[in-house]
A = this chain, B = another copy of it.
Amino acid sequence: MADPLVGVLGATGAVGGVVLEVLVERNFPLRDLIPLASSRSAGTTINFRGQDLTVREATPEAFVGIDVVFSAVDSDISRELAPHAVAAGAVVIDKTSAWRYDDDVPLVIPEVNPGDIEWHNGIISCPNCSTIQMVMALTPVEREFGIQRVIAATYQSVSGAGAAAMQELTHQTAAVAAGSPPAVEILPRQIVQNVVPEVESFRPEDGYTSEEWKMAVETRKIMHLPDLRVSATCVRVPVYRAHSEAITVECTRPVDPDGVRAALDSFPGVRVVDDIAQRSYPTALDASDNDDVWVGRIRRDTSSDNGIVMWVVSDNLRKGAATNSVQIAELLSF
């Protein structure tokens, strides 16, 4: 078969830009690439493999002939446009939350549930960034020890809120360095020299944010564990890239840190950095601009009998978004 014609919807955004990088790095076989974006960005150019490509407006008619669309736009745009892309014969790999919870849309992390792509109907969803890295660390633990309960607290970078939020951190950093009050426009509160427990919107029904809710619902769907109990607290921190997560897991069988280290170490895409004698553990800076899910601080949970605590760090724009999406496309045949 011919290499596919690839569309990148949201090519000028934070995730879209990394999708372009990852396609090149992984030498993804493609016949040609069509960057698509809103009318605001249409007509600008983006660079891909040394060529300047003109961004086209993402209209319902724009998908004719395209084989695979990477969608990294707002959810409402995806909900509107993805069906047109599917009708035009494309497979949509959707990074938004628009389709993730639909029963006929698989939610896929290639290392975890690659088989789920088989039942797609044109749309395959990529999980939320904070979910992906957690599930990458939970899956080897589940396979070896079984898991029944997860408690997570996140330390999420501003790039999860898009390119404008990254600029806001830059501007606020310059402001405080100059002794000026930082302007707050994109994120809900001042983020420089602060931490903010509001990521996405609040859910009146249970007091969680939708980001926190996603970590529970998506984890159950990806791992095929409908009864897994999950609670998360999601917090924005003044970091550009890479989310960090403190994760407590209750296992169904006796568990020990060395066994968890071994299970994680042999799982593709996971890098264990965990040697307290050397004071080694991953931080957001280590994991930035890198595809691995880094895990450290692995230790017995002193508050339960079969519990483990770990520290999981990964670049939210790469494995948390672009890389995972491209990996899904690599599972498809065209």
Contacts and interface: CB of A to CB of B under 8 A. Distances in A.
Nearest to A241: B193
A119 interface: no
A313 to B, nearest CB: 9
A250 B209 CA distance: 21
A277 B197 contact: no
A300 B207 contact: yes
Contacts of A195: 155, 237, 239, 244, 283-284
Contact of A197 (B198, B202, B297, B304): B297
A307 interface: yes
Contact of A173 (B176, B197, B297, B302): B176
A241 to B, nearest CB: 9
A50 interface: no
A268 interface: no
B285 A231 contact: no
Nearest to A238: B238
A134 to B, nearest CB: 13
A192 B277 CA distance: 24
A197 B296 contact: yes
B281 A198 contact: yes
Interface in A280-309: 281, 283-285, 296-304, 307, 309
Interface string A223-257: 00000011101010111100010101000000001
Contact of A206 (B296, B299, B304, B307): B299
Q: Max chain B CB contacts within 10 Å: which of A207, A240, A300?
A: A207
Nearest to A281: B197
B197 A309 contact: no
Interface in A98-154: 149-151, 153
A233 B308 CA distance: 12
A285 B189 contact: yes
A165 to B, nearest CB: 13
19 contacts: A151-B248, A155-B155, A177-B177, A189-B283, A190-B285, A192-B238, A193-B240, A193-B285, A194-B239, A195-B239, A195-B283, A197-B283, A198-B281, A204-B277, A208-B299, A208-B302, A233-B246, A233-B297, A235-B246
